[in-house]
Structure 1
């Protein structure tokens, strides 16, 4: 039986997640500094980055950790484990006020998403919480790739999808390189957009953080392809993603001009018009509106490229977290 979401859930707006920073939930110094990194969201990780013998500790610290990482307004997400026993303990710890979404690793079926949704709804009802926790599904196997449409539309709690490039590459016996990752990333992109979800990711290894030029190129390309943001495993990636997944000043000016010209054309009874030597019709106008909607004028915020890198922990390298 499919769970239903309480009234108002389906009307929730899609968040703006240009950057989601993984933070190991068992490391206090990383949790303490996470709110300074400038990420749109922070993922408190209970999965791969937390040793088995530290998971209980990480769960017990979650209430305090959630409050700390969200103190400057970032979305707070929690990545849970895949195994049933660990997942049950994770959900019991993570379903609380202040947690906006759960990251579901190794998602392979719509049925799995629905089962987790049922459990989350039970916990929310028991705790008198509104039904507002959303799901970000990580696609990490070829089997999941064959079920993308079903996963994307599995439940109203679904809000985003992302390919796990390292795990996916390992699952097919390959290396996380662009030749291998282009098709699965585009498949995730298309399925997410078709279901009205946020597509997150870029074509390449998420472990790439030392070569900032290469990372910036990959993120910029991802936005041109249609991705809305990306998951970060290191603080140095955050500012790059925030900038790459935000419209440039030139794009914003173009969009303003297009919308002004559209207004003038409508006043003269024209549905399509020429601008700068090119034909402008409804798809172009829609693109202009989307650009404005993701810019600072719409409350999207400025790029966090100005976040000082002196704040980053260059000694320890920051919270490297395996996605």
Structure 2
């Protein structure tokens, strides 16, 4: 497999692949990834048209510097046709809805392996974003996360999961299931994607920014969105602040000084600093380096 480091996906903007205007707009919005949708936003009688539009959309989004993700359909016949269209140079990941189990992931990975070989795409280039959308799949989230190296991220499909569980799709009812998905993802160094509440209210910019910040504190690494106005708040929320960066730098500098003196735990600004704080400080710096590299590559 060619991919070892989790991707930088603070914001993933959904766009129906059949809308040239929306695709062109999405490519200019600064999202870390654009999800070209073949699933929910495409009526059944236009699936073939959507697959035919994919090459042009992939080229347009890829030229912008955003990663290209294709959300495919779940039923096997349509999925097979979608993968034939989506596994192509320029596509970085596929978003897999309604995944049932680790074996389901392995079945799809086997098909992608063959398509990559046929098309001279480096083995393992294409990653998976797995959507957990049923109660049964949630119980298997850990095994799904570790099923295959292609799995880069997990996300709870709010509406589908709530329907299957017989509950309202709200922050209060879904916090527990989302925490399970976050733990399953992080246990195997996968990204956890999502927000604590609905992303449908794109008109409330301040409210969405607060939601994004709250979701990061809850453990999410990034989130999908449905409107271009949501991209900037997501990028900001999932980027360490100046204060966080300065704090991380101070912790690591004090840690180096303590090591030279043969000390483990040490105090900084009136607080004890131990191993977990050092791990978090390094994670902040790693995140900032990754953001800097992506920004540089996009220019």
TM-score w.r.t. length of structure 2: 0.95
Q: Which residue of 2 aligns with 1:251?
A: 244
Q: Which residue of 2 aligns with 1:114?
A: 106
Equivalent pair of 1:223/1:229 in contact (CA under 8 Å): yes
SS at match of 1:160: strand
Q: Deviations over 1:155-179 (max 9, x none)?
A: 1110000111122122222222111
Q: Which residue of 2 aligns with 1:224?
A: 217
Query: 1:179-218 counterparts in 2 under 5 A?
Result: 179-218=172-211
Equivalent pair of 2:105/2:148 in contact (CA under 8 Å): yes
Shift of 1:208: 2.7
SS at match of 1:162: strand
Query: 1:276-291 counterparts in 2 under 5 A?
Result: 276-291=269-284
Count of aligned pairs between the two proteins: 294
Equivalent pair of 2:8/2:291 in contact (CA under 8 Å): no
Runs of at least 5 residues in structure 1 that lack an aligned partner in the other structure: 1-7, 303-323
Which residue of the other structure, out of 54, 64, 67, is the alignment partner of 1:72? 64
Matching of residue 239 in structure 1 with residue 232 in structure 2: yes
Q: Counterparts of 1:279 and 1:179 in 2: how far apart (Å)?
A: 34
Shift of 1:298: 6.1
Q: Which residue of 2 aligns with 1:52?
A: 44
Shift of 1:60: 0.9
Shift of 1:53: 1.5
Matching of residue 14 in structure 1 with residue 6 in structure 2: yes
Q: Deviations over 1:122-175 (max 9, x none)?
A: 111112221211100011111111110111111111000011112212222222
TM-score w.r.t. length of structure 1: 0.88
SS at match of 1:36: coil
Q: Counterparts of 1:96 and 1:298 in 2: how far apart (Å)?
A: 26
Equivalent pair of 1:166/1:206 in contact (CA under 8 Å): no
Shift of 1:296: 5.5
Matching of residue 61 in structure 1 with residue 53 in structure 2: yes
Equivalent pair of 1:165/1:206 in contact (CA under 8 Å): no
Q: Which residue of 1 aligns with 2:263?
A: 270
Alpha-carbon distance change, 298 to 166 in structure 1, aligned in 2, over 3 angstroms: closer
Equivalent pair of 1:19/1:39 in contact (CA under 8 Å): yes
Q: Counterparts of 1:212 and 1:298 in 2: how far apart (Å)?
A: 23
Equivalent pair of 1:26/1:55 in contact (CA under 8 Å): no
SS at match of 2:31: coil
Alpha-carbon distance change, 298 to 257 in structure 1, aligned in 2, over 3 angstroms: farther
Shift of 1:258: 0.7
